[in-house]
Chain A
Amino acid sequence: MSMKVTTRQVDGITVLDLSGRITLGEGSVTLRDAVRDALAKGSRNILLNLGDVSYIDSSGIGELVSGYTSVRNAGGELKLLNLTKKVHDLLQITKLYTVFDIWDAEASALSAFK
């Protein structure tokens, strides 16, 4: 199963609802394009909802990091929402859990953008 992205705007924040697998190839490219599109359209506050992401590999982790860096370099913020246990564990063992701003509730995540 490939990855799908649905984009919505909530209070000036771009929410990307991701579903499927973020892996080398199509999944990683889809995520990269979605973040790039959001930045190109002027979005600077981006929330990635990973609640329906069933699987992520090292390429997908790398793409999350690249997205985070791209948004930061553009003067914005990228936060993560609704990690599955598997993704949570992967970010912990790769020590990225403390790099990302991670939330369990969308309302709280949206409020956390300055």
Chain B
Amino acid sequence: MPDSTTSRVSLTLGSTIESVDTVERTAQDFAERAGFDADTIPNIVMAVREAAVNAVLHGNAYDPAKQIVASFETNSDSLIFRIADQGPGFDPNRVPDPLAPENILRGSGRGIFLIRAFMDEVHFRQLHPGSELTLIKHRAPAQPAT
């Protein structure tokens, strides 16, 4: 029986791979407690992990003086993840399409694509400094109007 009460956790973490693993484990815990099925949970967890990798690697560039803030929220409607970094920020609309023939053999650049593929909503917000990704997964798909 999924837990439908609202719960929130916020973690401030260093710019390390270990932080990415911590974010991943916490996302796994939230997704499981929200009652998502076994096929969906890994996708949610991967999307959140990719967001954390973006923050640590591309945002903060492993700078030990910079931190990431990861917040996790579950309510009756959705799972909401926010990952913020203190980097220079980026324009998600300028990320090359990894499915384009000229990019298909690139060794990187698929993180944002996977996040969008696996989440229902993805929002970008420019911070000063840094940027924040908000990832939302609805607990039940919207029902078509009849």
Contacts and interface: CB of A to CB of B under 8 A. Distances in A.
A23 B17 CA distance: 10
B106 A58 contact: no
B109 to A, nearest CB: 8
Contacts of B17: 24-26
Interface stretch (B49-57, B64-72, B76-84): B49-57
Given A24-B20, A94-B99, A95-B99, A58 B110 contact: yes
A93 interface: yes
Interface stretch (B111-119, B124-132, B133-141): B111-119
A94 B105 contact: no
B144 interface: no
Given A24-B17, A24-B20, A95-B104, A58 B117 contact: no
User: A interface, by DSSP: helix, strand, loop or mixed?
Assistant: helix
A23 B53 CA distance: 10
A111 to B, nearest CB: 26
Contact of A65 (B46, B49, B107): B107
B98 interface: yes
B42 interface: yes
Interface residues of B, number: 21
B143 interface: no
Interface in A53-76: 55, 57-59, 61-63, 65-66, 68-69
A99 interface: yes
B50 A58 contact: yes
User: B interface, by DSSP: helix, strand, loop or mixed?
Assistant: helix
A96 B106 CA distance: 11
A71 B50 CA distance: 27
Interface string B32-67: 000000000010001001100100010000000000
Given A65-B105, A69-B105, A94 B110 contact: yes
B108 interface: yes
Nearest to A94: B110
A86 interface: yes
A96 B104 CA distance: 7
Contacts of A95: 99, 104
Contacts of B42: 55, 86
A65 B110 CA distance: 11
Interface of A: 23-26, 55, 57-59, 61-63, 65-66, 68-69, 86, 90, 93-96, 99
